[in-house]
Amino acid sequence: MRTSVILRAGAALALGLSAGCAVINRVSFEAPGATLTGVSVTGLGLKGGSLDLALDVYNPNAYELRSPRLVVTIDLEQSHFGEATLARPLHLPGKAHTTVTVPLSFTWEGVGAGARALLRKGSVNYGLTGRIVVEAPFGERTVILGTNGTVAVRDLVR
């Protein structure tokens, strides 16, 4: 009788582990992506200026991702322009786009072609790279972001 109880308990445990593994296998992770959708000039001065980068971040997963930090580097017209860090918590709902505004300060020294294009054209070519740490249901992951394209320059000094 005791052997029967042990066998049933073992079978129930094996069945439970099997079901748990099946659920974990169905919960997959896809990296979120980001696109630069706008640049707003928020200030200009003798030494440099400040911008707001508008990012469209898409979470392709069925579950919410949370992120404590986002770091991006932006190149304008193939010249390094700056790095921005957003250190406030982000909540990225599942299967949804989220607009994230990242402030960036820059100095005139070393920004060359990117700054000139930013001020004289209605758009600018960009390259965006970065990383975002996301907290998923099964642990923390660091995701590398990378995209390039052309974006409109809005609100030339508010």
pTM: 0.74
Beta bridge partners of 86: 70
Q: Residue 18: phi, psi to the nearest 5?
A: -60, -45
Would you write out the chain's pLDDT as a tens digit for each of its 158 residues?
Answer: 666 656 565 555 555 555 444 444 457 899 999 999 888 889 988 888 888 999 999 999 999 999 998 999 988 888 888 889 998 999 999 999 999 999 998 887 756 666 677 677 777 888 999 999 999 888 899 999 999 998 877 654 44
HSE of 80, CA atoms in CB hemisphere, 13 A? 8
- Give the containing element (helix H, strand E) for 46: none
**Torsion sign (Cα): 91, 96, 101, 104:** positive
What is the maximal distance between C-alpha atoms in the chain?
88
**8 Å CB contact between 120 and 153:** no
| Cβ atoms of residues 63 and 137 within 8 Å | yes
